[in-house]
Structure 1
Amino acid sequence: MTEMLKGTLEGIVLAILSVQPEYGYEITARLREMGFSDIAEGTVYALLVRIEQRGLVAVEKVPSEKGPPRKVYSLNAEGQASLDEFWQTWRFLTERLDRLQKGGR
């Protein structure tokens, strides 16, 4: 399960950001609300660094009441294109897996 989740986590995070901008802790909290309780905060932050480096998100530093400014991530056009590709791949896989589960038909 963990390995499968690692392969889809980027798409899941992009989907979360497609709803509204969020900062790292909010994304982690949203994942936990959705039942992804085993995902470590460090995993989410490492993923955010990668998607930022790949240019899939816009980042705005917002002042925080406690400590340094927070990085708020929002989906940009490149990120939306990546998310669209993720959903297309997801549909492809689920259709085939559903057929396989039903005996290959």
Structure 2
Amino acid sequence: MEPRVARVVTQLRRGTLEYCVLAVLRHEQRYAFDLVQDLGRTGLVTSEGTIYPLLSRLRRDGLVESTWEESPSGPPRRYYQLTADGRAALTAFVQEWTTFRSSVDAVLPDLEDRG
């Protein structure tokens, strides 16, 4: 990948990752390692080192809350779930993202046609 494009892709990931985390949490609480695996399959996250600071920030911002639960195979685990503010933030992002994506999609085919 061309270096300039790689930088843009990195910035897009950084700008949208927190909302992707909120989206994964929209139906059920999740353990952080499960989030890493799910988001890793899509290519959005490559390590736990990316998720844990993000989850801490989302918790401080009141968008997620966490609870400790016993694990059958080791120490207790922290599970994360959306708060009402997290749901509202996700809903607002989806509306903005849809508009933004449509705008970009409307322009990109024109660039391809000019070849």
TM-score by length of 1: 0.88
Structure 2 residues without counterparts, runs of 5 or longer: 1-8
Call closer, same or farther: CA 1:38–1:16 in 2, change over 3 Å: closer
Query: 13-22 or 55-64, which moves further after superposition?
Result: 55-64
CA deviation string 1:26-47 (max 9, x = no partner): 10011123x2165221111110
Q: Report matched runs for 1:1-105 at 5 Å.
A: 1-33=9-41, 35-36=42-43, 38-64=45-71, 65-67=73-75, 69-103=76-110
Call closer, same or farther: CA 1:46–1:58 in 2, change over 3 Å: same
Distance, in Å, in 1 between the alignment partners of 2:97 and 2:45 is 22
RMSD: 1.6
Distance, in Å, in 1 between the alignment partners of 2:45 and 2:95 is 26
Aligned length: 102
Structure 1 residues without counterparts, runs of 5 or longer: none
Deviation at 1:2, TM superposition (A): 1.7
State which structure, 1 or 2, has the greater radius of gyration over its C-alpha atoms: 2
Call closer, same or farther: CA 1:58–1:46 in 2, change over 3 Å: same
The sequence identity of aligned pairs, in percent, is 33
CA deviation string 1:2-45 (max 9, x = no partner): 22101100010000000211011010011123x21652211111
Give the residue type in structure 2 aligned to 1:103. D
Call closer, same or farther: CA 1:37–1:86 in 2, change over 3 Å: closer
Between 1 and 2, higher relative CO (CA 8 Å, sep ≥ 6) is seen in 1
Call closer, same or farther: CA 1:91–1:28 in 2, change over 3 Å: same
Q: Secondary structure at the match of 1:103?
A: helix
Runs of 4+ in 1 over 3 A off after TM superposition: none
